[in-house]
């Protein structure tokens, strides 16, 4: 299940004041279109790294860019055809065609396709609606595309027919989520066949002491004889051309890595060669035990958000190095992990008696790739396998330079003035917002995902379509509950509980109201992180109504949500955490389904319309993503000896996307 925490609100960060505040700055927002802003991020401290670490980052960064086509193909079978066709028209069109309104609409559509890694929205999963005409598009095809890789009528139906492949991910209760999802994880099979296939596989391997995440790195389909089979993603299998190039750069990275990290990289290479998930687990164990390497990375088929059954993993990559100064708070949290587990409000039967290997750090990200690009999490907790987490622990990171870039991009956007009614709440958010967000992320990733244990006999996959939402809710609740604990003041992590109250006000407002800016009119909430936040906020609102813990207030014709009793709200967080942990530990599917369907899905149409109007008036895009930095190897006069690696910060979203399409387009259009 997914262990990534996406940014909850991109308008409430307080920007740190200091020496850098006086510096003249380049614009942080480099492009804006539709509901998206594209931001540049910087990599502070890179220049001071040893040359060996700079070189390692360069090679790992190249590997991170080589899996881009994989994600496009995973998201939808025809994404690569659509993207390449659009790029060909975009780069070939003459001056007259480029001046038309249709061409401007095609450019906007292409920017959205790049951002979402496909034709479906990266968050809502709904198919994009083109604003250019089909007749005009067919004319452009005839002028600028010499040979289309699928029939033109089919290509046009894919782009223009709203009923064809309408959603990348369908999690609607009571429907066949496999047949109604457009992702490319399954073909020719229905939900019953998929569940039966993996149920039989689990039965065959039920005596394994180390349970494997079966299905994580494969597409399930039908062979020529009509049998359900897996197409495994590895060298020699599906996605081989891209994986071969990833391995090429990983092999170079291994030559400059320290011995412990070299062993980890070599284990990942072995897994890419064999496709054997036991090799993937062996790599994860080595990776989670390596706590000393300054440069670190994520690379592989990791998170299962894109699969409605929570089995198939999207490809992603992240290259980073430790932010030593900011790691103080995560070291304190890690050192006290057992205290937090022991004092958790959950049933003692579901607490870890001994917390092992919990580590956390604040990082500076150096490169984003795959499902971490252009949109990225601000926190990561891995590995995902529960048995590895129990026996070997987990690694958690908070990405500081990304949260800083978000903060700079949000500066002065008027969000708090519009949606936060009380002056005291606005002042708390301005003073403590960034600290509160970062600490909640630390607690969510380091302790929340790493907390608790399964009951004997529970396998961990019983919650099926609701697993991701409930796991994120469990981690969020853990972070929220402990953010309001005096222990954090005692540990010196926060100056007072005002930090928690700032987060509580923001979280409830977002879960019940402002995140609706990300939902299309008439739609339900589908994305798992959004469902998680809505579940928590709505449940606490209902359970606290008798005591007026959370209240709706109308002022000047606008609605606001306020928290009246922060301490009671913290108690409610603890009560819900206890229940969500029980549901996970016992694999109680029906109770999990009831929680999600009751509190996390349905949208109040009137409130939704109001939120959209108020957002539109502010001209705030609800989504943000990034352009990557660029790295260049510098050699001496002989051209043989590497003497430096230099970083630069492009501000051209279109240029970067076209460049990636030119230099890292490694798969056939149909796979």
Encode pLDDT of 466-502 as tens digits. 998 999 999 999 999 999 999 999 999 999 999 999 9
Using a pLDDT cut of 70, give the percent of the chain over it: 96
647 cis-preceded (ω within 30 degrees of 0): no
User: First-to-last CA distance in the chain?
Assistant: 26
pLDDT, average across residues 240-247: 98
Q: Is the predicted pLDDT of residue 388 greater than 50, yes or no?
A: yes
Residue 450 — left, alpha, or beta (φ > 0 → left; ψ -120 to 50 → alpha)? alpha
Q: Is the predicted pLDDT of residue 192 greater than 70, yes or no?
A: yes
* 59 is a domain residue: yes
Strand partners for 322: 363
Residue 302, H or E segment: strand 295-303
Residue 460 — left, alpha, or beta (φ > 0 → left; ψ -120 to 50 → alpha)? left
342-351 pLDDT, tens per residue? 999 999 999 9
Residues 6+ positions from 305 with CB-CB distance below 8 Å: 2, 4, 169, 314, 468, 528
pLDDT, average across residues 94-105: 96
Tokens of 549: 């813990």
pLDDT of residue 21: 39
pLDDT band at 362 (very low <50, low <70, confident <90, very high): confident
pLDDT of residue 425: 96
Ranking 10-14, 260-264, 463-467, 567-571 by mean pLDDT, the lowest is 10-14
pLDDT, average across residues 65-73: 98
Q: CA 529 → CA 285, 385, 437, distances in Å?
A: 27, 20, 15
pLDDT band at 25 (very low <50, low <70, confident <90, very high): low
* 643 is a domain residue: no
pTM: 0.83
pLDDT, average across residues 415-437: 94
Quote the Cα angle for 216-62-80, to 5°. Answer: 60
The residue written with tokens 């009951």 in the block is 455
* 155 is a domain residue: no
* 213 is a domain residue: no
pLDDT of residue 485: 97
212-237 pLDDT, tens per residue? 899 999 999 999 999 999 999 999 99
* 501 is a domain residue: yes
Provide the 10 A C-beta neighbour count for residue 413. 17
Hey, is 641 helix, strand or coil? coil
* 538 is a domain residue: yes
Residue spans of alpha helices (H) in 145-217: 152-160, 191-204
Q: Is the predicted pLDDT of residue 24 greater than 50, yes or no?
A: no
Mean pLDDT of the chain: 93
Strand partners for 37: 32, 624
**Rounded Cα distance, 335 and 352, in Å:** 15
pLDDT, average across residues 372-383: 92
Q: DSSP letter at 206?
A: T
pLDDT of residue 16: 35
Contact status, residue 526 vs residue 171, Cβ threshold 8 Å: yes
Which domain CATH number covers 257?
3.30.540.30
Residues 6+ positions from 188 with CB-CB distance below 8 Å: 221, 222
Question: Which residue range(s) make up the domain with 383?
Answer: 4-19+44-68+237-625
Q: How many domains does the chain have?
A: 1
**Rounded Cα distance, 36 and 620, in Å:** 9
Residues 6+ positions from 256 with CB-CB distance below 8 Å: 52, 55, 56, 59
Strand partners for 554: 559
Residues 6+ positions from 412 with CB-CB distance below 8 Å: none
Provide the 10 A C-beta neighbour count for residue 361. 25
pLDDT, average across residues 386-395: 88
* 619 is a domain residue: yes
**Rounded Cα distance, 107 and 132, in Å:** 10
* 252 is a domain residue: yes
Using a pLDDT cut of 90, give the percent of the chain over it: 80
pLDDT of residue 146: 87
Provide the 10 A C-beta neighbour count for residue 435. 18
């Amino acid at each position: 299940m997914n262990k990534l925490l996406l940014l909850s609100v991109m308008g409430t960060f307080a920007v740190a004041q200091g020496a850098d505040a006086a510096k003249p700055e380049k614009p942080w927002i480099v492009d804006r279109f539709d509901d998206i802003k594209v931001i540049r991020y910087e990599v502070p401290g890179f220049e001071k790294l040893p040359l060996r670490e700079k070189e390692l980052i360069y090679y790992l960064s190249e590997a991170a860019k080589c899996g881009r086509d994989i994600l496009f193909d995973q998201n939808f079978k025809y994404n690569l055809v659509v993207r390449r066709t659009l790029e060909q028209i975009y780069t070939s069109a003459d001056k007259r065609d480029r001046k038309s309104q249709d061409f401007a609409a095609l450019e906007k559509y292409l920017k959205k396709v790049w951002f979402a890694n496909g034709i479906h929205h990266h968050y809502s999963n709904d198919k994009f609606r083109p604003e250019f005409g089909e007749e005009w598009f067919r004319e452009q095809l005839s002028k600028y595309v010499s040979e289309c890789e699928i029939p033109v009528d089919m290509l046009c139906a894919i782009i223009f027919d709203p009923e064809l492949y309408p959603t990348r991910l369908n999690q609607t209760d009571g429907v066949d989520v496999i047949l109604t999802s457009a992702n490319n994880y399954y073909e020719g099979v229905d939900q019953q066949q998929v569940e039966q296939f993996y149920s039989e596989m689990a039965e065959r391997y039920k005596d394994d002491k180390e349970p494997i995440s079966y299905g994580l790195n494969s597409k399930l389909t039908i062979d020529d004889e009509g049998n359900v089979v897996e197409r495994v993603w590895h060298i020699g299998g599906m996605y081989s051309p891209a994986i071969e190039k990833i391995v090429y750069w990983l092999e170079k990275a291994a030559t400059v890595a320290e011995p412990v990290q070299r062993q980890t990289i070599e284990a990942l290479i072995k897994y890419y060669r064999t496709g054997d998930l036991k090799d993937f687990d062996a790599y994860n164990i080595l990776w989670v035990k390596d706590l000393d390497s300054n440069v670190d990375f994520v690379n592989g088929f990791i998170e299962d958000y894109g699969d409605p059954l929570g089995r198939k993993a999207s490809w992603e990559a992240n290259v980073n190095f430790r932010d030593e100064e900011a790691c103080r708070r995560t070291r304190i949290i890690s050192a006290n992990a057992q205290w937090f587990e022991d004092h958790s409000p959950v049933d003692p039967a579901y607490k870890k008696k001994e917390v092992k290997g919990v580590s956390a750090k604040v990082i500076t990200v150096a490169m984003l790739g795959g499902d971490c690009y252009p949109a990225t999490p601000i926190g990561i907790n891995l590995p995902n396998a529960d048995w590895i987490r129990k026996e070997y622990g987990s690694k958690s990171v908070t990405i500081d330079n990304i949260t800083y870039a978000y903060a700079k991009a949000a500066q002065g956007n008027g969000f708090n003035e519009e949606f936060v009614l009380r002056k005291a709440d606005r002042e708390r958010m301005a003073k403590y917002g960034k600290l509160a967000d970062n600490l909640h992320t630390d607690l969510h990733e380091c302790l929340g995902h790493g907390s608790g244990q399964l009951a004997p006999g529970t396998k961990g996959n019983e919650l099926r379509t609701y697993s991701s939402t409930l796991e994120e809710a469990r981690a969020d609740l853990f972070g929220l509950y402990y953010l309001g604990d005096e222990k954090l003041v005692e540990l010196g992590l926060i100056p007072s509980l005002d930090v928690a109250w700032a987060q509580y006000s923001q979280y409830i407002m977002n879960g019940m109201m402002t995140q609706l800016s990300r939902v299309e009119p008439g739609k339900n909430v589908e994305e798992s992180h959004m469902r998680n936040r809505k579940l928590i906020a709505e449940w606490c609102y209902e359970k606290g109504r008798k005591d007026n813990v959370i209240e709706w207030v109308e002022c000047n014709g606008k609605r606001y949500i306020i928290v009246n009793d922060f301490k009671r709200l913290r108690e409610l967080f603890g009560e819900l955490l206890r229940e969500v942990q029980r549901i996970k530990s016992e694999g109680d599917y029906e109770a999990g389904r009831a929680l999600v369907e009751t509190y996390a899905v349905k949208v109040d149409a009137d409130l939704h319309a109001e939120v959209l109007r108020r957002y539109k008036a502010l001209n705030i895009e609800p989504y943000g993503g990034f352009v990557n930095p660029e790295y260049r190897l510098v050699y001496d006069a002989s051209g043989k000896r590497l003497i430096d690696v230099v970083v630069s910060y492009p501000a051209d979203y279109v240029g970067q996307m076209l460049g990636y399409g030119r230099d890292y387009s490694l798969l056939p259009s149909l796979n």
